[in-house]
């Protein structure tokens, strides 16, 4: 078993324990991070992910920054 597959199994297990969904997009993001040795900038990740999933885009922050 590869390190990446072990990491994915652990993540899936933790999501199940915590009652949250390990969605296909979350799985793919974790795969991409593992494939890149743990180093990947957010917008680089989004660029790669957006070719596979149309819904992959940064969330817009609407509101003001609180001080």
The 10s digit of each residue's pLDDT in 15-25 is 999 999 998 88
Instruction: Specify whether the CB–CB gap between 46 and 58 falls below 8 A.
Output: yes
DSSP 8: H
What's the whole-number average pLDDT of the chain? 82
Instruction: Specify whether the CB–CB gap between 35 and 7 falls below 8 A.
Output: no
**Counting every residue, how long is the chain?**
67
What pLDDT score was predicted for residue 2? 82
**Look-up of token digits 């790669």:** 48
Quote the pTM value: 0.68
Whole-angstrom distance, CA of residue 32 vs CA of residue 60: 23
**What are the residue ranges spanned by the domains of the chain?**
3-50
What pLDDT score was predicted for residue 14? 95
What pLDDT score was predicted for residue 61? 57
């Amino acid at each position: 078993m590869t390190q990446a597959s072990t990491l994915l199994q652990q993540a899936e297990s933790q999501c199940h324990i915590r009652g949250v969904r390990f969605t296909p997009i979350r799985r793919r993001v974790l795969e991409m991070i593992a494939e890149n040795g743990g180093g990947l900038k957010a917008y680089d990740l989004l660029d790669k992910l957006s070719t596979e999933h149309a819904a992959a885009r940064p969330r817009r922050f609407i509101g003001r920054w609180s001080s």
